[in-house]
């Protein structure tokens, strides 16, 4: 199963991706987690990404695509993946299309997690990550609307939408249901 989760910051992509990865037995690949791991290890890539992350801006596409290309070349990805937080721009989606095409694969579905904006801000403020200050949260929402939301059209054919308000387990069930038997 090859899945992409999309949704605004706070929609629960990370939470659902972890649960789906377990249910579907495929690796969970989070671009944000990869950046944070690089930051923790003080790699060159991590240091290059830091100022963008702190400001709620997107890390430049070349850096992000390079990092994902490496991750998607690892052996565990052969059985599929759940992508969380990537792609976030049209250029990243094009790069992913090309990677998949070269490997003779395609996405099974793109799952859009739908949540109203007031719920999002509440969730993010409760999460307390260092980039979860109100200004940065607002900026990330804006970046989502401008850069990432247009991808829903790019993926019109594979897109399934799920109401992502409610209990965590219930939302996972909704996603699994909408994916159907595959
Ligand atoms: P996340 O954990 O998905 O909220 O990502 C945290 C931060 O990492 C974002 O605010 C961006 O600065 C950066 N980031 C994560 N994924 C991407 C991506 N696909 N493209 C560019 N920047 C990203």
What is the pLDDT, as a whole number, of residue 32? 97
Residue listed under structure tokens 């649960």: 19
Q: Are 113 and 11 in contact (CB under 8 A)?
A: yes
Q: Are 10 and 119 in contact (CB under 8 A)?
A: yes
Do the domain assignments include residue 182? no
- Which atom of ligand 1 is the closest one to the Cα of 33? 2
SS3 160: strand
What is the pLDDT, as a whole number, of residue 117? 82
Question: The CATH number of the domain where 85 resides is what?
Answer: 3.40.50.300
What is the pLDDT, as a whole number, of residue 118? 82
Per-residue pLDDT 10s for the chain (182 aa) are: 999 999 999 999 999 999 999 999 999 999 999 999 999 999 999 999 999 999 999 999 999 999 999 999 999 999 999 999 999 999 999 999 999 999 999 999 999 999 988 888 888 889 888 888 888 988 999 999 999 999 999 999 999 999 999 999 999 999 999 998 76
Do the domain assignments include residue 140? yes
168 Cβ neighbours under 8 A, 6+ residues apart: 12, 15, 16, 19
- Ligand 1 within 6 A of 53 CB? yes
What is the pLDDT, as a whole number, of residue 182? 63
Q: How far is CA 89 from the centre of its chain?
A: 11
Do the domain assignments include residue 53? yes
The count of structural domains within the chain is 1
Q: How far is CA 39 from the centre of its chain?
A: 18
What distance in angstroms lies between residue 164's CA and the mean position of ligand 1's atoms? 20
Do the domain assignments include residue 142? yes
Q: Are 163 and 119 in contact (CB under 8 A)?
A: no
Do the domain assignments include residue 38? yes
| Structural domain harbouring 151 | 2-177
Residue nearest to atom 2 of ligand 1 (CA): 32
- Ligand 1 within 6 A of 8 CB? no
Do the domain assignments include residue 95? yes
Do the domain assignments include residue 132? yes
User: pTM of this prediction?
Assistant: 0.94
140 Cβ neighbours under 8 A, 6+ residues apart: 9, 56, 131
CA distance 67 to 37: 12
Do the domain assignments include residue 123? yes
Strands (E), 75-176: 81-84, 109-114, 159-163
């Amino acid at each position: 199963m090859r899945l992409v989760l999309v949704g605004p910051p706070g929609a629960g992509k990370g939470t659902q991706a972890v649960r789906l990865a377990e249910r579907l037995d495929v690796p969970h690949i989070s671009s944000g987690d990869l950046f944070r791991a690089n930051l923790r290890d003080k790699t060159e890539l991590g240091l290059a990404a830091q100022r963008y992350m702190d400001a709620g801006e997107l890390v430049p596409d070349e850096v992000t695509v390079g990092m994902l290309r490496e991750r998607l070349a690892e052996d565990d990805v052969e059985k599929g993946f759940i992508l969380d937080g990537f792609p976030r721009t049209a250029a990243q989606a094009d790069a992913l299309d090309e990677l998949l095409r070269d490997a003779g694969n395609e996405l099974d579905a793109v799952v859009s997690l739908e949540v109203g904006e007031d719920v999002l801000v509440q969730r993010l403020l409760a999460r307390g990550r260092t980039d979860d200050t109100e200004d940065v949260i607002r900026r990330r929402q804006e970046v989502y609307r401008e850069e990432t939301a247009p991808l829903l059209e790019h993926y019109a054919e594979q897109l399934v939408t799920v109401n992502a308000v409610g209990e965590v387990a219930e939302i996972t069930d909704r996603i699994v249901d909408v994916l159907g038997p595959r």
